[in-house]
Amino acid sequence: MLAEIITIGDEILIGQIIDSNSAFIGKELNKIGIDVHQISSVKDDKQHILDAIEEASNRVDVVLITGGLGPTKDDITKHTICEYFEDTLVENKDVLEHVEKLFAKYIATPISDVNKQQALVPSKSTVLMNLYGTAPGMWLEKENTVFISMPGVPYEMKGLMKDEVLPRLQKRFNRPYIIHKTILTYGMGESTVAEKIEDWENDLPSYIKLAYLPNLGRVRLRLSARGNDKKLLEDTIEKKVSALNLIIGDIIVGYEEDETIEMRIGQLLIKQGKTLSVAESCTGGKIAQSFTANAGASAYFNGGAVTYATQSKIDILGIDPEIIKKHTVTSIEVAEAMALAVKEKFKSDYAIATTGNAGPEKGDGDVEVGTVFIAIATPKGVFSEQYVFSNLRERTIGKAVNKSFELLLNTLL
């Protein structure tokens, strides 16, 4: 069984927004054994949309359409779908009630006529209630093909997929098994990992595929097994992962699809009853933000100081100006002093500190653009490393953040 994703919106083709919806939909469909055959992006143009729907309906069993359901004039998906099904729009009372409730709760202005139109749906459609916004999802069928229309706003689409679309698809279809196993590694480049596991990789059976997913110094390995014998797939995956563990077990952080190194750090800190604080200069708050983005961070994350200006390192952390004068603000010595100071100020067991120059120009220190010093304070002392990451600001910040996680993780394992 195949699915096709059609994303609608000029803003995708001219690149004003990134289509993150297709990735989410692809991932979720894959989990229930539905293959995404193609992803097509088309314009907010009636004929384009009609063509895309018609073509997709000839190729696949499920067509998932996102976008173009907003309340404004450039959103024409609903009217176009209505035309494709030779249908008319009717007001749905449940949707109208829901829209009115949303306005009462979150928006000061009274509900407008434009917003009331969100309650209009094709008469032949089954409404998929969108609890996260005003545009309802719609489920339609024609000649054994299922058509699902969802809003393009990512968190609304995600909610609809989980609440309505996936359960309904699961109920209706019965698919062969697909099992994915993701292995998150750290501290080693893609090609080095590839060389180390070459024999293991060559030895994979044909029904298991391996993919390398590198990102800012972290490499994820993804194994995908497909077949009808669920037990065989599970056993083989387990055996291969065990074998992999013997080869590169020292760089494997976790096996969960959405797991990150910072989540693993959080788990370890909670398990050990320890806490963390951070002092950030060039990373500018991104380390703190990475931890606090995860629910439950308050169990181990005491907080942090973003001491961006040199003076703030003195005022807030109490760094001795003489150390800065002697070694410059971007130095091993200042990084270590920052880590020790923030650990004490926030009364934490561990601390991370960063100072460096993310560019594009030379800063208060005198090191080359891309140079970052990372210090880790532990209950036993402090250590630090110097890196040269990149001449691109965003990448230097991203790599410094990931590298700081690796250093801390090493001390916790």
Stretch 196-235 residues interacting with its own copies (CB under 8 A): 201, 209-214, 220, 222, 224
Per-residue tokens: 320: 């001795």
Of 103 and 383, the one with the shorter C-beta distance to its own copies is: 103
237 binds its own copies (CB under 8 A): no
247 binds its own copies (CB under 8 A): no
41 binds its own copies (CB under 8 A): yes
Q: In DSSP terms, which residues pair with 38 in a beta bridge? A: 4
394 binds its own copies (CB under 8 A): yes
40 binds its own copies (CB under 8 A): yes
Residue of the chain from 177, 270, 284, 323 that contacts its own copies (CB under 8 A): 284
Q: What is the DSSP secondary structure assignment for residue 316, as one 8-state letter?
A: T
Residue 288 C-beta: closest distance to its own copies, Å: 3
Subset of 286-305 contacting its own copies (CB under 8 A)? 286-289, 291-293, 295, 297-298, 301-305
405 binds its own copies (CB under 8 A): no
Subset of 109-168 contacting its own copies (CB under 8 A)? 109, 112, 114-115, 132, 153, 155
Options 24-32, 167-175, 325-333, 372-380: segment touching its own copies (CB under 8 A): 24-32
* Residue 355: partners with Cβ closer than 8 Å, 6 or more residues away: 281, 282, 313, 329, 330, 331, 334, 335, 338, 365, 372, 373
Q: Are 13 and 41 in contact (CB under 8 A)?
A: yes
Residue of the chain from 47, 88, 123, 191 that contacts its own copies (CB under 8 A): 191
186 binds its own copies (CB under 8 A): no
Q: Are 314 and 305 in contact (CB under 8 A)?
A: no
Of 9 and 254, the one with the shorter C-beta distance to its own copies is: 9
Compute the distance between CA of residue 407 and CA of residue 405 in angstroms, rounded to an integer.
Answer: 5
Q: Are 384 and 373 in contact (CB under 8 A)?
A: yes
10 binds its own copies (CB under 8 A): yes
42 binds its own copies (CB under 8 A): yes
Residue of the chain from 1, 23, 120, 166 that contacts its own copies (CB under 8 A): 23
Q: Are 281 and 317 in contact (CB under 8 A)?
A: no
Of 28 and 87, the one with the shorter C-beta distance to its own copies is: 28
Q: What is the DSSP secondary structure assignment for residue 72, as one 8-state letter?
A: S
Of 41 and 267, the one with the shorter C-beta distance to its own copies is: 41
Residue of the chain from 170, 312, 328, 411 that contacts its own copies (CB under 8 A): 312
What x/- string results for residues 340 through 379 when contact with its own copies is judged by CB under 8 A? Answer: -----xxx-----------xxx-xx---------------
Residue of the chain from 25, 119, 150, 233 that contacts its own copies (CB under 8 A): 25
Which one, of 170, 142, 223, lies nearest residue 29 by Cα?
170
What Rg, from alpha-carbon coordinates, does the chain have?
Answer: 26
Residue 412 C-beta: closest distance to its own copies, Å: 19
Options 120-128, 259-267, 279-287, 333-341: segment touching its own copies (CB under 8 A): 279-287
238 binds its own copies (CB under 8 A): no
Of 5 and 81, the one with the shorter C-beta distance to its own copies is: 5
DSSP for 347-393 reads: T-SEEEEEEE--SSS--SS-SPTTEEEEEEEETTEEEEEEEE--SSH
Compute the distance between CA of residue 50 and CA of residue 148 in angstroms, rounded to an integer.
Answer: 14
20 binds its own copies (CB under 8 A): yes
Compute the distance between CA of residue 21 and CA of residue 320 in angstroms, rounded to an integer.
Answer: 50
* Residue 119: partners with Cβ closer than 8 Å, 6 or more residues away: 91, 92, 93, 95, 96, 99, 136
Residue 124 C-beta: closest distance to its own copies, Å: 27
Measured from the Cβ of residue 356, the count of other Cβ atoms closer than 10 Å reads 29
End-to-end CA distance of the chain: 44
104 binds its own copies (CB under 8 A): no
403 binds its own copies (CB under 8 A): no
190 binds its own copies (CB under 8 A): yes
Of 140 and 365, the one with the shorter C-beta distance to its own copies is: 365
Compute the distance between CA of residue 409 and CA of residue 187 in angstroms, rounded to an integer.
Answer: 11
DSSP for 108-141 reads: SSPPPHHHHGGGEEETTSEEE--TTSSSPEEEEE
19 binds its own copies (CB under 8 A): yes
Of 86 and 195, the one with the shorter C-beta distance to its own copies is: 195
Which phi and psi (to 5°) does residue 110 adopt?
A: -70, 155
192 binds its own copies (CB under 8 A): yes
